[in-house]
Amino acid sequence: MAAASPMTLRCLAADLAAGQTTARKLTENCLALIADPQGEGARAFISVDAQGALAAADAQDTLRKTKAAGSAFAGIPIAIKDLADIQGQVSRAGSKALKDAPPATADAPVVARLRAAGFVIAGRANMTEFAYSGLGINPHYGTPLSPWDRASKRVPGGSSSGSGVAVADGFVYGALGTDTGGSCRIPAAFNGVVGYKPTARRVPTSSVVPLSSSLDSIGPLARTVDCCQILDAVMAGEPIPEPANLTLQGLRLLVPETIVLDGLDAHVAGDFDATLSRLATAGAVVTRAKFAPFDRIAALLDKGGLSASESSAWHRKHIATKRNLYDPRVLARILRGMDQSAADYIDLLEQRTAAIAAYNQALAGFDAIVSPTIPVVAPRIADVQEEKAYNRTNMQVLRNTLMINIFDGCSIALPMMKPGAPPTSLMLSGVAMSDHRLFGIAAAVETELAA
C-alpha cells in the first residue's frame, strides 16, 4: 500500500500535536503558494484573507499550547467556496451581480462549524457564476486551470472550480464545495482529488447562496477519502470518525449499463475497466446490469428541471436590475425556469419522489453503484468557447453525477488513473443516509487502487 501523504489531515494533525509544525507555518506556506505569480492562486481564489488567516493560525497555536484547541485539526488551512457566508465578507457567488451586496453579519452554519473545529480560512475559492455549470469557466474572475496538461489550458470542472484547483495545487488542505448536480465531484475528477456529495439533509445549507433548494448539498474536496470524511463530519455536526476499516471482500457493487457508460473516451474506459478488474480480484462482487431508475432522468430535466425553476425564482429580482452583469451562458440556464408553470414544478416534485423510491428499491441488493464520475477527461477551454460546444460538453460532464442528486443519494468521486496519466475518476454512490457506509467502501477502494 502507498504511504500516507504528508498532505492528509491526520498526518498534519499528528505533526501539529508533536510540535513538528505549527498552524502559523502551515498557513504561511499556503499563502505563499497562493501568492506565487507563476501559479493559479489568483484564479483559484476570488479573495484571500491573509491577515485574518495568520491571526487565526496564531490563535490556534496558542490554544494548542494550552490544550484548548477546537479539534486535532485546528490550525489547518482550508478554502470556502465563494457562495457561503463568512462574517464581514461579501458572498459574490462568483458573480459581479452581487459585488455590492452587504457583508455577511454572521458565518454560515457550515463555516461556523469548520471555524469552531479550528480550521483556518485562507480565502474564498472561485466558482462558476451562481454554481450553474459543470465546466468551471468564470468570465468575471478568471478560470483556474486543471493541473493536468496545464499548457493546453483545460477546464477545472465546476462549479467548485477554485476548491478543486486549490486542493490539487496544495494551496489548502481541504475546501468547502457545493454539489447540486456534481459540483464537488466534477472538479475533484478533473483535478485528480476526492470530492464528496453528502445526503443533502445532513449538512445545513442556510446562509449559502442557493442554486436549487431541492438539490443543493454541501460537501468537501480534499486529498483523500479520509480527509473528506473528516470535513464532512465537521460540517454535518457529527463526531469525527476513526479511519474506515472495511474490506472489499464480498461487497456487492452494481455497474449500471444504463446511460453512465455511454460515450466513454479511451482514457476513462481503460481506467474504469482496469479498476473493476482490480476490485473483483480483491473480492468485490461486481455486477453489470440495466438500471431502470436512470431512464426516469430525461423527464425530470424537462424545461431545465428543478434547478432552472428554483434558480429563476431566486434570481428574478436580480435579473430585473442586473441582467447585463450575468454570464450569458449562466443566464440562459436560469431563464429556462421561467418557462415552467406552477403545475410543471409540482409535477417535477411528484416525479422526483417516485424516482427516489424506485432508486432505493433497485439498490436494495447492492452496497453501492460504481461508475465513471465523468465520461471524458478535462477538455481544453478553447474547445468549449462556442455556445453549442459549451452546452453539449456541460451536459456531458454533468450527466452521471446529476442523477444522484435527483435521487437524493450520497456519492463520492476518487481518482482511478495511474500516476502521471490524465485524471480520471471513479464514482461510488448509495442511497440517502448511507454516507458512513459509503465512506467505508470508498476508503477500501482507495486503498486497493493505491496498492
Tens-place pLDDT, residues 77-99: 999 999 999 999 999 999 999 99
* Mean pLDDT value across residues 329-344: 97
Q: Report the pLDDT value the prediction gives residue 257, as an integer from 0 to 100.
A: 98
Q: Report the pLDDT value the prediction gives residue 425, as an integer from 0 to 100.
A: 98
* Domain shared by 65 and 196, yes or no: yes
Burial of 367 (0-12, 13-18, 19+ CB in 10 A): buried
Active-site residue (options: 71, 81, 309, 312): 81
271 has pLDDT over 50: yes
191, 211, 236 - which closes a domain: 236
* Known catalytic membership, residue 206: no
Is 245 among the domain residues?
no
* Mean pLDDT value across residues 6-26: 96
* Domain shared by 70 and 23, yes or no: yes
**pLDDT (tens digit per residue) in 219-237:** 999 999 999 999 999 999 9
Is 72 among the domain residues?
yes
Exposure letters 426-445 (e unless 16+ CB within 10 A, then b): bbbbbbbebbebbbbbbbbb
* Domain shared by 169 and 315, yes or no: no
Active-site residue (options: 71, 91, 133, 159): 159
* Domain shared by 225 and 314, yes or no: no
Q: Report the pLDDT value the prediction gives residue 7, as an integer from 0 to 100.
A: 86
236, 270, 288 - which closes a domain: 236
CATH no. for residue 26? 3.90.1300.10
Burial of 416 (0-12, 13-18, 19+ CB in 10 A): buried
* Domain shared by 362 and 442, yes or no: yes
* Domain shared by 111 and 231, yes or no: yes
Is 241 among the domain residues?
no
Is 2 among the domain residues?
no
Q: Report the pLDDT value the prediction gives residue 244, as an integer from 0 to 100.
A: 85
Domains of the chain: total: 2
Is 417 among the domain residues?
yes
At residue 411 the predicted structure's pLDDT band, cuts being 50, 70 and 90, is very high
* Known catalytic membership, residue 81: yes
Q: Report the pLDDT value the prediction gives residue 325, as an integer from 0 to 100.
A: 98
In this structure, the dihedral spanned by the alpha carbons of residues 269, 271, 277 and 280, taken in order and rounded to 10 degrees, is -100
* Domain shared by 346 and 281, yes or no: yes
Active-site residue (options: 183, 212, 307, 371): 183
* Domain shared by 193 and 329, yes or no: no
Is 242 among the domain residues?
no
349 has pLDDT over 50: yes
**pLDDT (tens digit per residue) in 367-402:** 999 999 999 999 999 999 999 999 999 999 999 999
* Domain shared by 225 and 259, yes or no: no
* Domain shared by 281 and 139, yes or no: no
pTM of the entire structure? 0.97
Is 173 among the domain residues?
yes
**110/349 Cα distance (integer angstroms):** 27
Of all residues in the chain, the percent with pLDDT exceeding 90 is: 98
* Domain shared by 84 and 224, yes or no: yes
* Mean pLDDT value across residues 317-343: 97
Range of the domain at 18: 9-236
Q: Report the pLDDT value the prediction gives residue 4, as an integer from 0 to 100.
A: 42
* Domain shared by 224 and 264, yes or no: no
* Known catalytic membership, residue 388: no
Q: Report the pLDDT value the prediction gives residue 5, as an integer from 0 to 100.
A: 60
CA proximity to 155, closest of 177, 140, 133: 133
Q: Report the pLDDT value the prediction gives residue 2, as an integer from 0 to 100.
A: 34
